[in-house]
Structure 1
Amino acid sequence: MTHSAPVIPDEAAVVGQSLNKQLAGEKLHSAIYTGWISHQRLQPKLHGFRYQLFMLYLDLEELPYLFKNNSLWSYLKPNCAYFRRQDYLGSPDQPLELCVRDLVETHTGQRPLGRIGLLTHCRYWGICFNPVSFYYCHDSQGELQAIVSHITNTPWQEQFAYVHEVKQDKSLLFKLDKDFHVSPFMPMDIDYQWQFSAPGDTISVHMQNWRQQQAMFFATLKLERQPWQAASLNRMLFSYPWMTLKVVAAIYWQALRLWLKRMPFYPHPKQHSKPGDES
């Protein structure tokens, strides 16, 4: 599928727009979100947990200039906290925004021409791991057009992207088949039901796993928006100093608990059933 090259805004103009927004007190599209995530396993045995966390909602147009005048955070350059291109979707030698637009167009036939917001973790103290990052893709009128769920599994470090197209009824409930192995304690023959909210004062994601018409597993992410401020970023960095390390440690700790409960073990299927694996 061919398409014209995207228009890349003049760097100085974008810098000026971002700085002018901050000086005028206008709310940026980018934000800090704080809240919690919970998992509840229903089959074959009960198991659950809940953790506090923070995530960043990064407007990809604003991203290169969000960490200006903050000595602890940076874009593309190593720091206490920084955005590293290699940690995200697509080829690291391609602009992230271009990779997301291409992926959505390939899967839906429609290219998102508006803003793209990324809900994710950055690299903190040299460590980054995102079990899932979400890209909220808007059309030229500012309406949500598609959501991309970009998943990384552990310990295989493979990546896979599900593209959820927002239909005319604007429903953000998506039903899909599982096509990517995530946990050795969850089989592949799973039906997903994922419910999203549009980014706003809050963001929520609720995922359900069903097998043979029986609910097996629920996961819920609930976050509240905080303004994008350097002081707030630094407070998050020191309030949650090992955010991404905590994510990795929690995955292995919960896996150990599942193993001790003698949950069924499902080996890696070696290949996934549909294109989309970016490993």
Structure 2
Amino acid sequence: MSRTPPVPPPGSGTPLAPALYETEIAHTRVTPIRHAVRHRTYMWLVDPDHLPKLPRILRPLARFDPADHFDGDAPTLRAGLDTCLARHGVTGADGSALMLTHARVFGHVFNPLTVYWCHDRAGRPVCVVAEVHNTYGGRHTYVLQPDDRGRAEVPKDFYVSPFLDVTGTYHMRLPRPGDRLDLTVQLRHPDGTRPLTATVRGSRRPASPGTLLAAALRHPWSTAAVSLGIRRHGIHLYLKGLRVRPRTAPTSQEGTP
């Protein structure tokens, strides 16, 4: 087995080599009913300025399309990220960036959560962007200023689950990935309840053609499987008696068709 190369530090002058993470994504609900679901898949860690160059035969397994992120109208992923940062009044994040995401596979992609770690030109962390997509085609970005352990809080203001109101606060832990990926997003309500906790955990692998092919064989059509799994989960919760909450009107940044 090939050795996984180390992640170069931001600002080192070395392009941040792409990597794959074999991941387990878990969603745990504790109120009003208890229910948990786990799904195994794989995700990419890429530098938007240095996207992977795959052999032609493998390109259907991984395409990074700017139309799949932010407002969907930027010419490049980096341009979309820069526009998002400018909209939120962030300055100084003009150094390297890391993007954790699902790539488009056989023409399909669904990204419940894409995370961007943004740095200045000296490699110092400036902010983290959490881009959330729902199954209705909506998109929303949260720009965070995490502490040195990757923790941040932000009010929830985007409709995601049909069984949860747009209330409460997200408590996120989004440390920069290394050999291990370990992210947590927990929703907390003003009454102290914590109805939903989502985690993304995984191990880093080199983004070689062989590693990608092996991951694709273990998790065929991975992004479609994520999308179908979410819908199956929703049907299960509905049959358990959870009430569907009305959808809220999207805000201008959500990119809903």
The answer to whether the superposition gives a TM-score over 0.5 is: yes
Match of 2:137? 157
Match of 2:56? 71
Distance, in Å, in 2 between the alignment partners of 1:46 and 1:248 is 22
2:188 maps to which of 210, 222, 225 = 210
* Paired amino acid for 1:72: I
Match of 1:254? 233
Q: Cα distance, 1:209 vs. partner?
A: 0.9
Distance, in Å, in 1 between the alignment partners of 2:56 and 2:175 is 33
1:131-146 to 2 correspondence within 5 Å?
131-146=112-127
1:111-126 to 2 correspondence within 5 Å?
111-126=92-107
Q: Cα distance, 1:93 vs. partner?
A: 4.1
Name the SS for the 2:21 alignment partner. Answer: strand
Distance, in Å, in 2 between the alignment partners of 1:224 and 1:111 is 31
Asked whether the 8 Å contact 1:175–1:193 carries over to 2, the reply is: yes
Name the SS for the 2:232 alignment partner. Answer: helix
1:186 and 2:167 correspond: no
Distance, in Å, in 1 between the alignment partners of 2:134 and 2:23 is 23
1:29 maps to which of 6, 14, 17 = 17
Q: Which has the higher contact order (CA 8 A, sep 6+)?
A: 2
Distance, in Å, in 2 between the alignment partners of 1:27 and 1:179 is 35
> Could you tell me the percent identity over the aligned residues?
26
Asked whether the 8 Å contact 1:30–1:117 carries over to 2, the reply is: no
Match of 2:4? none
The TM-score with structure 2 as length reference comes to 0.87
* Paired amino acid for 2:247: H
Which structure is larger by alpha-carbon Rg, 1 or 2? 1
Name the SS for the 1:72 alignment partner. Answer: helix
Name the SS for the 1:123 alignment partner. Answer: coil
Q: Cα distance, 1:151 vs. partner?
A: 1.2
Unpaired runs of at least 5, structure 1: 1-25
Distance, in Å, in 2 between the alignment partners of 1:224 and 1:47 is 26
Asked whether the 8 Å contact 1:115–1:138 carries over to 2, the reply is: yes
Match of 1:99? 80
Distance, in Å, in 2 between the alignment partners of 1:278 and 1:148 is 16
Query: 1:48-95 CA deviation, whole Å, 9 max, x = no partner?
Result: 0111111001111210xx224x13333xxxx34322231122343432
Asked whether the 8 Å contact 1:138–1:145 carries over to 2, the reply is: yes
Match of 1:220? 199
Unpaired runs of at least 5, structure 2: 1-13
Cα 1:238–1:193 shift into 2, 3 Å: same
| Count of matched residue positions in the alignment of Structure 1 and Structure 2 | 242
Q: Cα distance, 1:171 vs. partner?
A: 4.2
Q: Cα distance, 1:107 vs. partner?
A: 1.7
1:235 and 2:221 correspond: no
The TM-score with structure 1 as length reference comes to 0.81
